[in-house]
Structure 1
Amino acid sequence: MLAMAGGYFVPFLISPRSLGFGDVKLASPWASRSAGPADASGGGAAAAHVFGGVYGLDLFVFREAPRESDVPFGPFLASGTLIGVLLGAVGA
């Protein structure tokens, strides 16, 4: 859990504009909730990044948004948590 929360805190320290502090605060309870008997937290983290990547690709390539556009990552963390919890429930 600390490694996952730290994985979001370090980019925030390096470049606060790239990752908001709300995402950092959400990472710790997200990691503790995603970890279960089947340890599906890795699946939840991967799902969050895939969802965010697909949204960013759609936004920047197909809708031609400027590169300076902000993309909120919190909703993708929440959806990844849901996927992780569901994967943990199925695997338990």
Structure 2
Amino acid sequence: MDAALLQAAGVNVVRIAEFAWSKMEPRPGEYDWSWLDEIIGLLVAHGIQAVLGTPTATPPKWLMDRHPDLYMRDDQGHARGFGNRRHYCYNHADTGG
């Protein structure tokens, strides 16, 4: 991220992390916040605010592999598969739907 360039362009707020679940939790129960600390620090140093989004739109592969029933399915019952945005079923009982 080039915070100096963002600042020069007049950007004063950025959204981050909406699609970063796998980066936040690369393996079950293993969390890495260091990259967020670094990015937020860079932004603050350049007078830019950060809106931290929830990463629920992209559950990580390890979670989907453990719970394949979470995949969204088409009208034929075929799983949508991994790699798309919001690839989980919105109304699955375990997703709060």
Could you say which structure has the higher strand fraction? 2
TM over 0.5: no
TM-score normalised over the length of structure 2: 0.25
Q: Work out which structure has the larger RCO, using CA pairs closer than 8 Å and 6 or more positions apart in sequence.
A: 1
Could you say which structure has the higher helix fraction? 1
Higher Rg of the two aligned structures: 2
